[in-house]
Structure 1
Amino acid sequence: MVSASDFTQTCNFTIESDFCTAETCCLEQGQIHYIPTLAGNAAYAALFAILIIPNLTFGIRYKTWSFMSWLCLGLIGETVGYIGRIMLNDNIFSFNGFLMYLIPLTIAPAFITASIYLCLARVIYILDPNLMHTRLKPMTYTKIFVTFDIISLILQAAGGGLAATADDQAGSDMGINVMIAGLAFQVVSLLIFIGLCSDFAWRLYKGIVSKKMRFTVTDADTTYPPSQGLARRPTWMRRSEEVGGDSALDYTSIKTSVMFKGFIGALGVATFLILVRSSYRLAELQEGFDGELANDQLTFMILEGPMIILSCIALTAFHPGFALRRLWSMKGFQGRAGSPSAGEKLVMTSASNSAVGSRDGSREDLSAEQRAPAVGGSRYESLRA
């Protein structure tokens, strides 16, 4: 095992780093200015690799395809990145090892935040089915922040590639600046995301009703009879027997379950930890690759790996499949206007007949649920990513 004491104390910058050895070059000529710990980086790589297995399993079982894809891409990136650091432990001058470390570890958290953003719309639909406390449509949040995430990812990846392959200091600085822009964009996006989530939580807690009622169907509404209002709800908001289902799904029981509350907590914890990590990397790159913070192994091993590991553990332990059960992939959970499922068509037909009957004075024959005020409606857009 190579240690810092094995390197010559005299630097020879006439030798390119690709041709350096411990006998001919000093440690400062390495890709980074310290020997990455083998045990620590191997442990991190193993943890990330292990976390891929349950996430693939849960994703397939609960059909959380989009969540599974983004999170597993992040886990794979983290695994590859720490393998790159293991290569640097063996040869600190390895350019391939440096590339494997720098780019994957820089962009991997962006994939993980994308998986978090995908969850927000579903959480809003369950907590606020009438959409009375949200400033934007649920899927609008997801589209905005996933777009931000992709922009951040592209900037970080492009910057990392430019910085790592630059032939001179000017090129390296340009790449670092692009990476800084990507990380700064990610940090700002996370802060805005946290702010909007906090705003929604506060409005929901206070019970503030939006001035612009999204869904105003009432018993007195002659345009949309209450019975038809039931049909306009997403499938997951109605008992399965009302839409030809095979088992009852009660979104209220999901909303009040310990697992769902834990799921929301896990999203919050993961978001905060990724914000801490991204803020650290942003500060690190401000000094460049030769800066003190960029070459402080202890700080890196505390604020990089553990932040992402804990985030992924939280998202795995409180997987959306556990919390939302079948709602993530249910066709009715999409609630697409103009394209109801077969069950929805059945209920809508029944509702229409009931509405005709009510005009003939037979409204009293309607069930209590058919007479209930309607919630939901055509504003529910597709949630399947």
Structure 2
Amino acid sequence: MANSTDCVSSRCSRVFLTYEPSLAGNAVFLALFAILLPVAFALGIKYKSTVFSTALMTGLALEVVGYIGRILLHNTPADRSGFILFLIGTTVGPTFICGSIFFIIPRIITVYGEELRSWRPIWYSFLLQGLATLSFVLELAGGLVSTIQDDQGRVDIGAHVLAAGLAIQLVTLVIVLGHAILCAIAIHTRHHMLDIKFAGIYNSGSFKAFLFAFAFAIALLILRTAYRTIMAAEGYDSSIAQSETLLLVLDGLMVLLAILALLVFFPGRILRDSNAASTDTGGSLQFAAIDPR
């Protein structure tokens, strides 16, 4: 176990971890995230979901970088560069995965019928994408400031900025969940208004399984983001931040299961017949083409 006496050379001036990260545990997550990268790429090409798959692949790539950082920390827990890779990769990566989820919701609403939407798509787009962008900026800035600085006051400021970015991401996910609940209520109470054009989709077992997987992924990301928000707010030297078990279970495993749910029930495959939904030139999921009325 590392302590302050292990960091006395000019190589570092801070202790980032008080334990040596598990080589086997982190290597498993690194391998799994790396394996899923070509899977997401292949599905994106096959079902012409380039925007969705690109966001998902970016998140996966950042997770890979994050776990490379943890493996580098195995032998040198006080290594600054390894900690930066770990913190930025595993913090920002899920932000892109959340962003990929935001591209799916307009397609789901279109399947059931635009009359059941609870928000105008233009406001939905601006709100969620704006919050996601703000979250990304704060997470990146806070993560960098809190790791490249040695002054404790600046480190604390960076950690608080990071916590604010994560809190915004958490709020955004809760908004998405609330929006989904409102849509579910509308569908249940106004089922006579459903668009029969897509009845073959929303009555299918695969679509219902997809909706369950979609909600499951959101719930997992909410749990993960709540954990990382508390972790950042408590500080890097807190018992929560220094627990590898909590990190691997509440962060790594939650993100991994969320990605698996999105890949097994790939939206481009489930929703490929909803041609009235918004698409770019490659048929990918995006907000820009949605009718803003």
TM-score when normalising by structure 2 = 0.89
The 8 Å contact of residues 161 and 175 in structure 1, kept in 2 or not, is answered as yes
Q: Partner letter of residue 322 of structure 1?
A: R
Residue 12 of structure 1: CA displacement?
3.4
Is there any run of 5+ residues in structure 1 with no aligned partner, and where? 21-28, 211-236, 239-249, 337-379
- Cα offset for 1:381? 7.3
Note if contact 1:52-1:76 (Cα within 8 Å) is conserved in structure 2: yes
Task: Sort the Cα spacing of 1:383 and 1:286 in 2 relative to 1 into closer, same or farther, 3 A.
Answer: same
Equivalent in the alignment of 2:177 = 194
Q: Match of 1:297?
A: 244
User: What residue is the counterpart of 1:203 in the other structure?
Assistant: 186
**Equivalent residues in 2 for 1:130-141 (5 A)?**
131-138=114-121, 140-141=123-124
Q: State how far apart, in whole Å, the 2-side matches of 1:41 and 1:14 are.
A: 23
Contact 1:17/1:30 (<8 A) preserved: no
Tell me which structure has the larger Cα radius of gyration: 1
Q: 2:8 maps to which residue?
A: 15
Q: CA 1:333–1:274 in 2, change beyond 3 Å: closer, same or farther? A: closer
Match of 2:272 among 314, 320, 325: 325
C-alpha contact 1:48 1:79 (8 A) present in aligned 2: yes
Residue 367 of structure 1 corresponds to none
Match of 1:12, SS?
helix
The match for 1:218 is none
Bigger RCO (CA 8 Å, 6+ sep): 2
Q: 2: distance between equivalents of 1:64 and 1:89?
A: 38
Matched residues, number: 284
State whether residues 18 and 242 of structure 2, in contact with CA within 8 Å, keep that contact through their aligned partners in structure 1.
yes
RMSD of aligned residue pairs (Cα, Å): 2.6
The 5 Å alignment of 1:75-90 reads: 75-90=60-75
- Matching residue of 2:160: 177
Pairwise CA distance, 1:140:
3.6
Q: Give TM-score scaled by structure 1 length.
A: 0.69
For residues 262 and 163 of structure 1, the distance between their equivalents in structure 2, rounded to whole angstroms, comes to 41
1:294 aligned counterpart, secondary structure? coil
Measured after TM superposition, the shift of residue 69 of structure 1 is 0.9
Match 2:135 to one of 152, 163, 187:
152
Identity of paired residues, percent?
Answer: 32
* Residue 335 (structure 1) shift: 9.1
- What is the rounded CA distance, in whole Å, between the counterparts of 1:14 and 1:308 in structure 2? 32
2 CA distance for matches of 1:287 and 1:17? 28
| Matched residue SS, 2:238 | coil
1:273 to 194, 200, 220: 220
The alpha-carbon deviation at position 260 of structure 1 amounts to 1.5
Alignment of 1:41-80 (within 5 A): 41-80=26-65
**Cα distance in 1 for residues equivalent to 2:33 and 2:257:** 10
TM-superposition CA deviations, 1:195-231 (whole Å, max 9, x none): 1210111122111899xxxxxxxxxxxxxxxxxxxxx
The alpha-carbon distance between structure 1 residues 143 and 319, as it changes in their structure 2 partners (threshold 3 A), is: farther
Q: Is the 8 A contact 1:34 1:295 kept in 2?
A: yes
Per-residue CA distance 1:342-366 (angstroms, 9 max, x = gap): xxxxxxxxxxxxxxxxxxxxxxxxx
Where in structure 1 do 4 or more consecutive aligned residues deviate above 4 Å? none
